[in-house]
Amino acid sequence: MKRRDFSRQLAGAGLGLAAAGLARAQGGPVEGQHYVKLSTPAPVSLPTPDKKVEVVEFFWYGCPHCFRFEPLLDSWAKRLPPDVALRQVPVGFALPHQVHQKLFYALEEMGQLPAMHRRVFTAIQEQNQRLNTEADIVAFVGANGVDRDKFAAAFKSFSVATKANRAKQLSEAYKIDGVPALGIHGRFYTSGSLAGSHERALAVTDFLIQRARQNA
């Protein structure tokens, strides 16, 4: 979902991803067409001695495309080799995104993210729960077995605010303007709209992981 179009989605209008085919050159996906190479590298969270390649998925709970991408990403992640590390980063384009950033990181702080991540997506995308205010979010997590008081404290904590701010800075460093999008080791990014589909975006990511390994 494009940053400029998120308000349309809040009003109930969906966005379509580009359906252009993934043209193949001799060297694979085409830079500038199927992926972007960053002119200035983005930060990588892995320690310098760590030889792993970092892949970052940028998403928003309010994005229907992100919801549909989630099972594909899960399946892809299960096949990743040991030298690839995947992490998810919620974007903070505007206030609704920022509230969901705090939801994500508060659940992470409490160790509840694995149990609650898909439930949050489902509540918003299939059950029409907006979850756009702190009160609605606290009520939702409480109804799903999370301690309300501890969650509310985490939601307002300095640690969560810091993580949300870093997530916003990272999406800006990658120059992300829509989700879902995939950043590869601080050097490249791709998306369904660039590659032509969610599945092709993951194929392009595989290609870019290899490039990152080769430092190409």
Surface-to-core class of residue 32, CB atoms within 10 Å of its CB (0-12 exposed, 13-18 middle, 19+ buried): exposed
pLDDT digits (tens, 9 = 90+) for 132-174: 999 999 999 999 999 999 999 999 999 999 999 999 999 999 9
The first and second tokens of residue 208, run together, are: 């870019």
Residue 15 has pLDDT above 50, yes or no: no
Name every residue whose Cβ is closer than 8 Å to that of residue 42 and which is 6 or more positions away in sequence. Answer: 170, 173, 174, 183, 186, 187
Centre a 10 Å sphere on the Cβ of residue 186 and count the other Cβ atoms it contains: 21
Centre a 10 Å sphere on the Cβ of residue 61 and count the other Cβ atoms it contains: 22
**Does residue 110 or residue 47 have the better pLDDT?**
110
Arithmetic mean of pLDDT over the chain: 89
Residue 180 has pLDDT above 80, yes or no: yes
Local confidence band at 71 (pLDDT 50, 70, 90 cut-offs): very high
Element holding 101 (H helix, E strand): helix 95-109
Name every residue whose Cβ is closer than 8 Å to that of residue 210 and which is 6 or more positions away in sequence. Answer: none
The first and second tokens of residue 76, run together, are: 């892809």
Residue 108 has pLDDT above 70, yes or no: yes
Q: Tell me if residue 91 falls in helix, strand or coil.
A: coil
The pLDDT of residue 9 is 40
- CATH architecture, domain 26-41+50-174+184-213: 3-Layer(aba) Sandwich (3.40)
Q: CA 147 to CA 81: how far, in whole Å?
A: 36
Residue 1 has pLDDT above 80, yes or no: no
The pLDDT of residue 2 is 56
Question: What are the residue boundaries of the structural domains of the chain, listed by start?
Answer: 26-41+50-174+184-213
The pLDDT of residue 152 is 98
The first and second tokens of residue 131, run together, are: 């979850």
Average pLDDT over residues 11-16: 32
Average pLDDT over residues 9-23: 35
Q: Which residues of 70-90 are buried (b: 16+ CB within 10 A; e: fewer)?
A: bebbeebeeeeeeebbeebbb
Average pLDDT over residues 111-122: 98
Local confidence band at 66 (pLDDT 50, 70, 90 cut-offs): very high
Residue 121 has pLDDT above 80, yes or no: yes
The first and second tokens of residue 168, run together, are: 């916003």
Average pLDDT over residues 35-43: 97
